[in-house]
Amino acid sequence: MATANPFSLWILLLIAAISYPTSLLAKSDVYIVHMDLSAMPRAFADHHSWYEATLSSIKDGGNGVATITTTKPSYLIYTYNNAIHGFAASLSPLELDLLKHLPGFVSSTLDVLLKADTTHTPDFLGLNNSNSGPWPASNYGEDVIIGLVDSGIWPESASFRDDGMTQVPNKWKGECVSGTDFNSTMCNKKLIGARFFNKGIKAHSPDLNFSMNSARDTDGHGTHTSSIAAGNYVKGASCFGYARGSARGMAPKARIAMYKAMRDDTFYASDVIAAIDKAISDGMDVLSLSLGNTASNFYDDPIAIASVAAMEKGIFVAASAGERGALPVHSAQCRTLATYCGASLYPGNSSLTRVPLVFMGDCNDLNNVEGKIVVCESTYLFWASADNIDDQITSGAAGGIFLYVGNRIEPHIHLSFPAVVVSMEEEEGQAIFNYINTSHDPRATMKFPYTRIGTKAAPRVAISSSRGPSTICPNILKPDLMAPGSLVLGSWSPISPIVDDDGSTQMFSDFNIIYGTSMACPHAAGVAALLKGAPQPFDLLS
């Protein structure tokens, strides 16, 4: 292949730049650029130097020169070698247009904003048999490495102790990267690796202050998902007494590697791809992605492309399907191994005995309900109804019974625990109405003594879970599987408040109960680790 003449290339770019309208000189955006590796001139030592020279040649409207060595600062945000072939860079419309005319350019995608979409679930999934099944067959996932792209991890959590763990397997090629309040000695035989990726966020918000520039989790989400997938045994775990028991992950002896790419519940695709890129080269077996994208086409979804690259290298990729319910316009994407709630679990040991019971209609006016169990009825959709449940708690009501006519709703997890709230079917609600209307002093008792296992109502899809069909490829059934995702107990960052009443009242815990396909995803990843660790592993990608 002929090598481009740098001088002629500079002349062409300069002529093109003179004729461009002022509108193309607008402020820059971050783009993820795919490149054809075969187009790299032989004079360059590696792809990184080629990308640097290419960007140098188009900066300032084409006033640079594509040379092998340059004294200009680096314009690259990331170089990708495994998840995709290409780079992330901040480009103006003019620079992007110039780049499109250079050898090796394949495509570009605007960097997009992504969102983050247990004690008893191993029993519910039938993993607790010590004589047969996935746990003993795989030795509890021993030596299988699960990577999670998330908000980071709290390394001191009891879920990540390495009691009973063997030496780190030789296939592991990753690192435990030091940073703010996090050093390499915090990794062990359970948490074997930790990296953080925030160059994409910084490119979008250069003035943003990073108080925790490390893999340490200040949010709680990543600590929670990690403990679900592969947390070690923790006796007496609970969230303020709820779901009390011995906590452990789906694959208790699997290894954990954290790739922090989330800040304040937000991911950028450029950071996520960088995380996946490193996870592939680090020697991952399973990858858990509790995050969502709304791309309308495969070629516009860089996370989908990166996931396929990981799967082609034998890595099982589990991804959350999102919290968009049953509306077709919000269907799950084809790329996801969508995972959903597998049970209706009401954990805890709170109870109310013979408390006054009052019916308040749609509960838009909650005066004089303090100390009472409030009964509400609504035909609203889940999200609107959840606001009413929040109102019940803040009004001082002792508890709440929420009747959703025609379907079932689940308590919104953003309620401040401990909160005594239940939902009921229409038939059950009618019995309560009859009791209230025929009694001169209606009272009720509510008990939450334990989590029920094996109830006939489970499994069922949580009302908030995306469930398909996919708008991209309706001929392919999605989601692929369901997994527990409703009211799941998991480890938590102790500096992230579980209860925050506008800052006036804050409560903290080492464990938290939350819900969503973000919780279902690591359940699937953990079970996949068990199957991969079995002597005769299943072909999970067939």
Examine the domain organization and report whether 118 and 105 are in the same domain: no
Q: Identify whether 459 is part of a domain.
A: no
Buried/exposed 367-384: b ≥16 CB within 10 Å, e otherwise:
eebeebbbbbbbeeebee
- Whichever domain contains 264, its CATH number is 3.40.50.200
pLDDT at 22 exceeding the cut of 60: no
Of 78-92, 123-137, 335-349, give the range with the top mean pLDDT. Answer: 78-92
What pLDDT, on a 0 to 100 scale, did the predictor assign at position 207? 87
Q: What is the 3-state secondary structure (H, E, C) of 316-327?
A: EEEECCCCCCCC
Q: Identify whether 458 is part of a domain.
A: no
Catalytic residue among 221, 224, 412, 523: 221
Examine the domain organization and report whether 154 and 187 are in the same domain: yes
Catalytic residue among 111, 117, 143, 150: 150
Q: How far is CA 439 from CA 88, 357, 424, 432, in A?
A: 68, 10, 21, 11
Examine the domain organization and report whether 141 and 202 are in the same domain: yes
pLDDT (tens digit, 9 = 90+) per residue, 388-431? 555 655 666 766 666 655 544 444 434 443 345 566 666 777 88
pLDDT (tens digit, 9 = 90+) per residue, 255-286? 999 999 998 777 899 999 999 999 999 999 99
- If one compares 325 and 168, the residue with the highest pLDDT of the two is 168
Containing domain of residue 311, as a range? 114-340+464-533
pLDDT at 246 exceeding the cut of 70: yes
Examine the domain organization and report whether 123 and 41 are in the same domain: no
Examine the domain organization and report whether 131 and 242 are in the same domain: yes
What pLDDT, on a 0 to 100 scale, did the predictor assign at position 288? 94
Give the domain-ending residue among 422, 447, 472.
447
Give the domain-ending residue among 52, 83, 110.
110
Examine the domain organization and report whether 139 and 223 are in the same domain: yes
Examine the domain organization and report whether 440 and 313 are in the same domain: no
Collapsed DSSP state (helix, strand, coil) of residue 496: coil
pLDDT at 319 exceeding the cut of 90: no
Examine the domain organization and report whether 204 and 309 are in the same domain: yes
Asked about 440 being catalytic, the answer comes back as no
Q: How does residue 111 score in pLDDT terms, banded at 50, 70 and 90?
A: very high
Q: How does residue 468 score in pLDDT terms, banded at 50, 70 and 90?
A: low
Collapsed DSSP state (helix, strand, coil) of residue 3: coil
Examine the domain organization and report whether 70 and 145 are in the same domain: no
Residue entry with tokens 């019974």? 401
Residue entry with tokens 């589990």? 318
Q: Identify whether 40 is part of a domain.
A: yes
Which tokens belong to 20?
A: 């461009």
User: What's the average model confidence in pLDDT over 102-119?
Assistant: 84
Give the domain-ending residue among 53, 88, 110.
110
User: What's the average model confidence in pLDDT over 279-295?
Assistant: 87
pLDDT at 493 exceeding the cut of 50: yes
Q: How does residue 59 score in pLDDT terms, banded at 50, 70 and 90?
A: confident
Q: What phi and psi values does residue 259 have, to the nearest 5 degrees?
A: -120, 95
How many residues in total does the chain contain?
542
User: What's the average model confidence in pLDDT over 104-126?
Assistant: 78
What pLDDT, on a 0 to 100 scale, did the predictor assign at position 455? 55
User: What's the average model confidence in pLDDT over 244-254?
Assistant: 91
pLDDT (tens digit, 9 = 90+) per residue, 399-408? 666 665 554 4
Q: How far is CA 211 from CA 52, 203, 238, 435, in A?
A: 30, 17, 29, 55
- C-alpha 487/C-alpha 222 separation (Å) is 16
Instruction: Tell me the β-bridge partners of 242.
Output: 239
Q: Identify whether 540 is part of a domain.
A: no
Instruction: Tell me the β-bridge partners of 444.
Output: 355
Q: Identify whether 456 is part of a domain.
A: no
Asked about 162 being catalytic, the answer comes back as no
Catalytic residue among 288, 509, 518, 523: 518
- If one compares 264 and 529, the residue with the highest pLDDT of the two is 529
Asked about 221 being catalytic, the answer comes back as yes
Q: Identify whether 422 is part of a domain.
A: yes
- Whichever domain contains 413, its CATH number is 3.50.30.30
Examine the domain organization and report whether 66 and 185 are in the same domain: no
In the chain, the number of structural domains is 3
- Short-list 113, 422, 31, 123, CA closest to 294: 113
CB 482 within 8 A of CB 341: yes
Examine the domain organization and report whether 427 and 471 are in the same domain: no
Q: How does residue 293 score in pLDDT terms, banded at 50, 70 and 90?
A: low
User: What's the average model confidence in pLDDT over 534-542?
Assistant: 56
User: What's the average model confidence in pLDDT over 469-492?
Assistant: 72
Q: Identify whether 12 is part of a domain.
A: yes
Which residues does 146 contact at the CB level (< 8 Å), separation at least 6?
A: 229, 230, 251, 254, 255, 256, 257, 284, 285, 286, 287, 288, 522, 525, 526, 529
Tell me what the pLDDT averaged over the chain comes to: 77
Q: Identify whether 538 is part of a domain.
A: no
- If one compares 222 and 69, the residue with the highest pLDDT of the two is 222
DSSP alpha helices (H): ranges in 89-147? 93-100, 121-124, 134-137
For the chain, give me the number of helices (H) and strands (E)? 12, 23
pLDDT (tens digit, 9 = 90+) per residue, 152-184? 999 999 999 999 999 999 999 999 999 999 999
Q: How does residue 150 score in pLDDT terms, banded at 50, 70 and 90?
A: very high
Full-model pTM:
0.76
- C-alpha 79/C-alpha 43 separation (Å) is 19
Examine the domain organization and report whether 213 and 305 are in the same domain: yes
